[in-house]
């Protein structure tokens, strides 16, 4: 199952706004407190990540390490164009040359190959599909306690290896590691929408958007919107 979605223009680092609207009766105050905490935690995670991504821009290219290359690739992936994804993969390959067992780089590289395939930007569909699947499997082997590694690998395996069951299990594992992972929620929404579990998929989309309404990968919520 593949989809072809157009991404929005690059997103600026979102302000942390604890004043988002929360509707509910006063009797539901504890549930509202939990929802507020979830939203603030998710916003903090995203803001800190975007601040980290900006850091390598101030460094000399000769001093980049695997982590810096990962952050550069992350920003390029957010831009979501054919050239930016090619450059993202190039940066991730350099990171893996430094550390072949770097699970976040493996997972993000697999994810970038998936996006290239979805948009028709792949140079060789079969070769990139096989490589993306290989990277995703390896990422899961090495990054079982990293929620982002798990959902990115799940997304790649769902699209490249057509492994719906495995992708669902990995997305759920991502939520065990990080219950506030909006992208794992969105992925479960997509899988449900493309199978038979449409009622749950809408709930997953709503929860994902509530958790991270300004996420740079907000296009993953396109079906719900």
What fold characterizes domain 55-165?
1.25.40
User: Which token pair is 82?
Assistant: 């054919």
pTM: 0.73
pLDDT of res. 180: 87
Mention every residue, 6+ apart, whose C-beta is less than 8 A from residue 19.
Answer: none
pLDDT at position 19 is: 41
d(CA 120, CA 123): 9
Sign of the dihedral through C-alpha 203, 208, 214, 217? negative
CA-CA distance, 174 to 155, in Å (whole number)? Answer: 11
Distance (Å, whole) CA 104 – CA 66 = 10
Does 3 have pLDDT greater than 50? no
What pLDDT was estimated at residue 43?
A: 52
Q: How far is CA 68 from CA 53, 60, 63, 64, 154, in A?
A: 8, 11, 9, 5, 24
pLDDT at 47: 57
Q: Whose structure tokens read 């054919």?
A: 82
Map out the domains of the chain as residue ranges: 55-165
Residue 184 or 48, more confident: 184
**Residue range 119-154, pLDDT digits in tens:** 999 999 999 999 999 999 999 999 999 999 999 999
Q: What is the pLDDT of residues 72-127, one digit of tens each?
A: 999 999 999 999 999 999 999 999 999 999 999 999 999 999 999 999 999 999 99
């Amino acid at each position: 199952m593949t989809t072809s979605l157009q991404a929005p223009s690059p997103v600026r680092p979102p302000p942390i706004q604890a004043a988002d609207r929360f509707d509910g009766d006063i009797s539901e105050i504890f549930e509202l407190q939990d929802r507020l905490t979830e939203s603030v935690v998710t916003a903090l995670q995203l803001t800190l990540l975007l601040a980290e991504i900006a850091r390598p821009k101030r460094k000399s290219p000769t001093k980049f390490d695997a982590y810096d290359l990962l952050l550069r690739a992350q920003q390029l992936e957010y831009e979501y164009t054919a050239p930016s994804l090619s450059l993202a993969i190039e940066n991730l390959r350099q990171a893996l040359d430094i550390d072949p067992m770097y699970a976040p780089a493996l997972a993000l590289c697999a994810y970038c190959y998936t996006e290239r395939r979805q948009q028709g930007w792949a140079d060789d569909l079969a070769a990139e599909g096989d490589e993306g699947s290989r990277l995703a499997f390896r990422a899961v082997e090495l990054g079982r306690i990293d929620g982002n590694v798990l959902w990115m690998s799940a997304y790649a395996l769902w699209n490249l290896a057509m492994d719906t069951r495995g992708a669902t299990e990995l997305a759920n594992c991502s939520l065990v590691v990080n219950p506030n992972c909006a992208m794992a929620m969105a992925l479960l929404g997509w899988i449900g929408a493309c199978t038979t579990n449409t009622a749950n998929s809408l709930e997953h989309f709503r929860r994902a958007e509530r958790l991270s309404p300004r996420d740079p990968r907000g296009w993953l919520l396109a079906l719900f919107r």
